[in-house]
Every structure is written in structure tokens, then in C-alpha cells.
Amino acid sequence: MSKILNVEHLGKSYLSGGKTLTVLDDISFSVAPGTTYAIVGPSGSGKTTLLGLCAGLDTPDSGLVELCGEPLAQLDEDGRALLRNKKVGFIFQNFQLLPTLSALENVSVPLELRGVKGANEAARSLLEKVGLGDRTHHYPSQLSGGEQQRVALARAFANRPDILFADEPTGNLDEETGERVVELLFNLNKQAGTTLIIVTHDLSLARRCDGLMQLKGGRIFKTENTPQL
């Protein structure tokens, strides 16, 4: 597979106050397997909408998305959900941990639902990798924001996704905590060989990726390959 994500002439509009609001207009780009790619732009530029379309969480008005070799338009909602379950991971700005489950359970339950043997052991190992080996039985309310996001990182990599979408992964964290989470994210991603797509308003974070695309007013403002040090 030469492209794990291929987007061609994507468009998306919404009706707002009786008027048509164009959120994305003629977006085309592709991402090779095992690389890192950033979608960057100010609030309202269409970043999160684009991520949702790429992951099959929403459908475009025009254009096409191929994810992991599958044209999403040819799949129904159940088919897209199955594809995400097998091959896609997510990290969100607001963590999205289940409050009634411990850190260990938040990571192990998705594995158990997939029938993975040794789910608890795998979850514990991942939590140790993100520095939370001593916090496995704590609930989200007992963890700091940075710790919750590290649990979310462990959960995202637990299913060994082919591609991982991260939507403003440091948006709710202070600078120092955010930098630690970013280091963990890139290190885990490198170890796993996962393709990483990051949506962010932080250009310095975006420039850590192999390539980036800047959105402005729903259109591509600039794309660039980022030289790696």
C-alpha cells in the first residue's frame, strides 16, 4: 500500500442560519504508511472536520477518501465502524476515558472486546511505557490531565492501529505536560511503526512531522515536507 490515506478533491458544507457554510473546499493530499503528518491551522479552518472525514466519522459532500486501501464511500456506516475498529486509533483533546473504569480497565477493555488474550498484561505493559505503572488502579478523576492523556495514549496504541488520528492531543495541557505527552506519542509511534496524523494549531508541533498541511478558511494554504534533524 503506497498510500495509507488518500484524499481527493474533498468538500464539505453545512447549512447555518439559512446560508450554506463551506467548511472544506477542494482538499487533496496523501500520506504514506509509517509516516507522520500534521494538519495545522487556526480555529475554524476546518481541521477537525477534515480529520472526521478522513477517519470515516462523517461523509463528504464531494470528493473521495481512501483509508487503509478502502474507499470509504463504498462502505456503509457499519463497514466504516468495522474498519476503524480494526485499523484506526484515536487520541482526543478531552481524553474521552470512561470515568467508571480504572486506568488499567480503560486500556484493557477495548482489547477484551476484540477477544485479545492477555489483555490485562498488554494494558499493564503499555501503562508502564507511558510512566503509569503505579497508577493502574486509579480512576480518571484521580489522575491529572497529563496522566489521563497518557492513559489515552496507551489505549490508542493497545489495538496496534495501522493509522492513528490525534486531534489537538495537547490542547488541554500546560506547555511542560504537553511536551512530555508529545515525546511519548512520537516515541510510541516510532516503536509501533504506526502512521500518525496530528490535527493541531501548534506549528512547532506540526514541524516535528514528516509533512504538514496548513488550512486557512477551509482551503489548503500551504503544504510542505519537514526536514528531519
Domain ranges of the chain: 5-99+145-225
CB 5, CB 11: distance < 8 Å: no
- Which whole number is the average pLDDT over 19-36? 94
pLDDT at 222: 86
Percent of all residues in the chain with a pLDDT value above 90, rounded to a whole number = 73
**Which residues are CB-neighbours of 178 under 8 A, at least 6 positions away?**
146, 170
Write the pLDDT tens digit of every residue in 153-175: 999 999 899 999 999 998 888 88
Contact indicator for 54, 7 with CB cutoff of 8 Å: yes
Per residue in 28-71, pLDDT (tens digit) is: 999 999 999 999 998 888 999 999 999 999 999 999 999 999 99
Each residue of 53-70: b (16+ CB within 10 Å) or e? bbbbbeebeebebbbbeb
* pTM for the whole structure: 0.91
| pLDDT, position 44 | 85
The verdict on domain 5-99+145-225 having CATH code 3.40.50.300 is: yes
